[in-house]
Chains A and B, each alone.
Chain A
Amino acid sequence: MTVSVIQFGGSNCDRDAVRALEYIGVDAERVWHEDGLPADTEGIVLPGGFSYGDYLRAGAMAARAPIMADVREAAADGVPVIGVCNGAQIGSESGLTPGAFTTNASARFQCEPVHLRVERADTPWTAAYDEGDVIEVPIAHGEGRFEIGEEAHADLVADDRVLFRYCDADGEVTDEANPNGSTDNVAGVLGERESVAVLMPHPERATLPDLGRSTDGAGILEAFT
């Protein structure tokens, strides 16, 4: 599988994503957004960073870049697409996934390891886990608070589209374990198809064993294997 990691002006986790994917044996390449989506793309990563300097709203500009029409089309065709951090903001801004990511309740940029509870284990992104598993993956964002209208939130839950929730080390979903004030502790959601997902935490920063304390994120990227 060839995974295209879409690079916008201001993306800065594109190399990390390629390196993490290559580590788990996935062929991946960076694709400059103006060059369009390569024809042999079999998977797509919208990487983290600060595309367009977070102008207007984080992800707002990149979400309207022409390549995103190709990404939405590929997603509708079943090509796996994951948005990480700024990529999650781009994904929600472009309508790939429901809700919005906005300013942390703390009003601060937060860079720290968090625990996530796997809410669905029957998706490509979570096949490596069991439902209820607790994984440790870092966050690094100032605008990661998941907001969604009441009705849309009820639909999200009813449709079982919450992929990860922030939790404590024991898997309890509590206010204390919610780093940014996200509605319902939501850290990641699915799109209309289970092959489309976004999340604020960085799986690519929890894949290489020599990087830090956790390699729990590798299982998410294994969707591309």
Chain B
Amino acid sequence: MTAYTATVTVRLKRGVLDPEAETTQQALERLGFELSDLRSADRFEVDLDAADADEAADRADEMAERLLANPTIHDYEVAVAER
């Protein structure tokens, strides 16, 4: 078994309104920053032991499918690194 950290990034699908990101962008603009768009995402770092990187990724993928993301509104990606 090898120790891995699986990083799951969950973000709204393109086209789904993100009022929190819009509000954050407006606040940045009030502070004088110039920007053309802002998107936010949630990142989960999951430490786990697995036989190989593929197994670690599969398990993190299932975590995203079953809880971390809501497939109606979210896309997600999984990246695995040894820790």
Chain A contact residues, CB within 8 Å of chain B: 56-57, 60, 64, 92-93, 98-100, 102-107, 145, 147-149, 152, 181
Given A147-B73, A148-B72, A149-B72, is A64 in contact with B20 using a C-beta cutoff of 8 Å? no
Q: Other than A64-B66, A105-B19, A147-B73, give 14 A-B pairs with Cβ distance below 8 A.
A: A56-B67, A57-B70, A60-B67, A60-B70, A93-B70, A99-B72, A100-B70, A103-B19, A104-B19, A105-B17, A107-B20, A149-B72, A152-B72, A181-B19
Contact B17 A181 (CB under 8 A): yes
Chain B contact residues, CB within 8 Å of chain A: 16-20, 22-23, 66-68, 70, 72-73
Contact B72 A107 (CB under 8 A): no
With A and B bound together, what is the CA distance between A64 and B63 in angstroms? 12
* Contact residues in B for A93 (Cβ distance below 8 Å): 70
* Contact residues in A for B22 (Cβ distance below 8 Å): 107
With A and B bound together, what is the CA distance between A181 and B19 in angstroms? 10
With A and B bound together, what is the CA distance between A103 and B40 in angstroms? 13
